[in-house]
Amino acid sequence: MDESVFQDTECILQKVRKNRNRYINEAVEFYNMVQKRKILSKELTKESWFVKEESMKVLAEFENLQNED
């Protein structure tokens, strides 16, 4: 851990009166949650583009069928 981060953490710990391990565990848990949301967002964006492309292909096929009638 960087010294400046450690010093900031120590100052905050004195003010919030929380055990260092508990504080760090909560911080890492929160950071993991944020990262999981970012990963999920990227995956959903990718899947959304794939579904969009497939939907446009299906729409084009339906339009071709209507034009043949």
Residue 28 is predicted with a pLDDT of 97
Which whole-number Å values give the CA distances from 4 to 15, 19, 20, 41, in the listed order? 17, 19, 16, 32
| pLDDT, tens digit (0-9, with 9 covering 90-100), for 10-34 | 999 999 999 999 999 999 999 999 9
Q: Are 52 and 38 in contact (CB under 8 A)?
A: no
Residue 66 is predicted with a pLDDT of 83
| pLDDT, tens digit (0-9, with 9 covering 90-100), for 26-67 | 999 999 999 999 999 999 998 898 898 889 888 888 888 888
Q: What is the pTM of this model?
A: 0.65
Q: How many domains does the chain have?
A: 1
Within the chain, residue ranges assigned H as helices are: 3-16, 20-68
